[in-house]
Structure 1
Amino acid sequence: MTVPLALMVLALFAAGLAPRALTRCTWPDREPVLALWVWQCVVGAVLLCCVLAMALSGAAAFTVVRSHVFAGAPHGVAEAYTSGAYTPWSGALCVLLACGGAWTGAMLLREIRDARATRRRRRAELRERAPQLPGEDTSSSERLLVLEDEKPDAWWLPGATPQLVITTGALRRLKGRQLDAVVEHEQGHARARHDWLLNCSAALATGFSRVPVFAGFRDQVHRLVELAADDAASRRYGRLTIALALVELNEGRGIFGPCPAPLAMVPQRVHRLLSPAPRLPVSRRLRMTAMASLVPVIPLLVAVAPGLSALR
């Protein structure tokens, strides 16, 4: 039970301290894509700790699990993990983690189901407001749909046949290359599959709302994907262009007034675009990427250490 307990301690350490460290840093606003990668690596490491602890504790408690976990492994390797390791807590820990895994899967399936239902409902609403014309070609996977609406808005509707929807109010308000910048922003979401990140983070936070790393992951993903899409648009059309486009789209919603809407991110995004902080040096970005990539490797090293020692 030493290795499973070590893995659980490592998971608790990462789940409790990593969110505090990441939310207190200022560099994620300068490098949102890198910050998303770091968050994914930390969450992946926590989940990997739980999976490995479940497998090893189950192998220590149940013969049938042991035969699958150590199938084809030398006898000495299996003995290193199971000999004298069984305690009454082995089976309980395995069952507890298995239940947690099943609950995570159920939450993810529910999130996917809800997301699909939402997309179907929104597509049905779009078909009612903008019915397909006879002979209209809908084979393109990135079809642009112009919706008659005085309210300026634009959004990307993901799915098997994604659609970029822009209202006529947005077409009237956006000037020059501002429309191109908005389209690039929404396509940035689609290229990076930000909807997958949002669904996964929401599922983990819903299933385990009291785990800081999952709650922080959900909250930060919503913010970072918008910053990343802003940067994708600004690299091609300029920061001023996308900032003005954001103002034009959201000026009438009251978020720039003395009492902005709760959790409104647009003013902060506009300020970030107009007063950009310098990016991190390339060497530092490479070091941070490499360090983040090594985080999920730590649970693997902890898990295989006894087996490697037994092979000596």
Structure 2
Amino acid sequence: MLVPVALLMLGALTAVVGPRLLARSEWPEREPVVALWVWQCVVAAVLLCCALSMTLSAAAAWQAVRGQLFAHAPQGVVEAYALSAAGPWAAATAVTLALGGAWSAAMLSREVFRARARRRARRAELLVRSPLLPGEEPGTDRLVVLEGERPDAWWLPGAAPQLVITTAALRRLKGRQLDAVLAHEQGHAQARHDWLLHSSAALANGFPQVRVFAAFRDEMHRLVELAADDVASRRFGRLTIALALVELNEHRGVFGPCPATTAEVPQRVHRLLAPLPRLTAGRRLSLTATAALVPVIPVLVTFVPGLSALR
């Protein structure tokens, strides 16, 4: 009955080593889309280790679960897992991991519910500040202009996503900078970055002591912005989106010697103005394939005893 223990140890090792390797690498800033994929694979592997360990622990603790799990398996396969030799810790492990899974689902549901509530509140506020004209349907305009003294622009996701921009921003944005801002926000919407942010926030809030989930949340916030910057820069140029970022954030004091909130904006502007060369297509493919194998390892560990018994 070593497989559940091995899976938990593998999950802990992945949770520790994965973020450290990514933190020491310089390529995530050059390839944020690949980095987003790698982070998802690392976290998926950790969660999969817990889920598989929970399943095998439950099978060891309760005969009913074992009968369902190995209903069509040969007797030799069942014996290879040595489930009957499990100690009293198997039930406790299964229950603890099951509660962790339920808590994760509850945190994700809460995060999505709160996000939808915030979205409804912002849409209601938008209708108050920019009322519909006679005959105009709500959500038909993809661009909404608000009267405002501070330059600002944001994407309002939903069934009918909209870009909201203030008149001050329109006065500051020149040339194709407005198109670049729109492309940046559309990059968020097309890649469904909101779901990445919700999932990472749910795990980090639900398990604040687990460092890999906190790092996952922080990196998702950073990498989705870099990925959206790249979407805009490929269409309108790096200088255009960099100048747009400066125009929209200069009043927030983020470019001074003591930057305030959104201090990642100067790093984003510097990255756009002094870009590092992208990785080769072969390197990107190898990183993507290697990351995809990370969640496969727990599955292989789980099936090794059964496959060995079938030889």
| TM interval, short-chain normalised | over 0.9
Classify the secondary structure of the residue corresponding to 1:279: coil
Contact 1:60 1:81 in 2 (8 A): no
For 2:187, the equivalent position in structure 1 comes to: 188
Question: Deviations along 1:178-230, whole A, 9 cap, x unmatched?
Answer: 11000000000000000000000000001111112111100100000000000
For 2:86, the equivalent position in structure 1 comes to: 86
For 1:117, the equivalent position in structure 2 comes to: 117
Classify the secondary structure of the residue corresponding to 1:104: helix
Quick check: 1:49 aligned with 2:59? no
Contact 2:150 2:168 in 1 (8 A): yes
In 2, Cα distance between equivalents of 1:207 and 1:17? 21
Gaps of 5+ in 1: none
Query: 1:148-297 counterparts in 2 under 5 A?
Result: 148-297=147-296
TM-score by length of 2: 0.97
Question: Deviations along 1:208-260, whole A, 9 cap, x unmatched?
Answer: 11112111100100000000000000001000000011111111111112221
For 2:73, the equivalent position in structure 1 comes to: 73
Contact 1:59 1:82 in 2 (8 A): no
In 1, Cα distance between equivalents of 2:197 and 2:136? 33
For 1:9, the equivalent position in structure 2 comes to: 9
Classify the secondary structure of the residue corresponding to 1:145: strand
For 1:147, the equivalent position in structure 2 comes to: 146
Contact 1:151 1:169 in 2 (8 A): yes
Contact 1:154 1:170 in 2 (8 A): yes
Contact 2:151 2:166 in 1 (8 A): yes
For 2:298, the equivalent position in structure 1 comes to: 299
For 1:134, the equivalent position in structure 2 comes to: 134
Classify the secondary structure of the residue corresponding to 2:277: coil
Q: Which moved more, 1:248-257 or 1:185-194?
A: 248-257
In 1, Cα distance between equivalents of 2:63 and 2:47? 24
> 1:263 Cα deviation (Å)?
4.8
Classify the secondary structure of the residue corresponding to 2:135: coil
In 1, Cα distance between equivalents of 2:71 and 2:127? 54
In 2, Cα distance between equivalents of 1:237 and 1:85? 64
> 1:309 Cα deviation (Å)?
1.2
Aligned Cα RMSD in Å?
1.3
> 1:17 Cα deviation (Å)?
1.6
> 1:161 Cα deviation (Å)?
2.3
In 2, Cα distance between equivalents of 1:282 and 1:267? 28
Classify the secondary structure of the residue corresponding to 1:166: strand
In 1, Cα distance between equivalents of 2:133 and 2:161? 19
In 1, Cα distance between equivalents of 2:284 and 2:30? 11
Q: Which moved more, 1:75-84 or 1:153-162?
A: 75-84
Gaps of 5+ in 2: none
In 2, Cα distance between equivalents of 1:144 and 1:78? 61
User: What amino acid is aligned across from residue 200 of structure 2 in structure 1?
Assistant: S
Count residues in correspondence. Answer: 311
User: What amino acid is aligned across from residue 35 of structure 2 in structure 1?
Assistant: A
> 1:124 Cα deviation (Å)?
1.1
User: What amino acid is aligned across from residue 202 of structure 1 in structure 2?
Assistant: A
In 1, Cα distance between equivalents of 2:83 and 2:69? 15
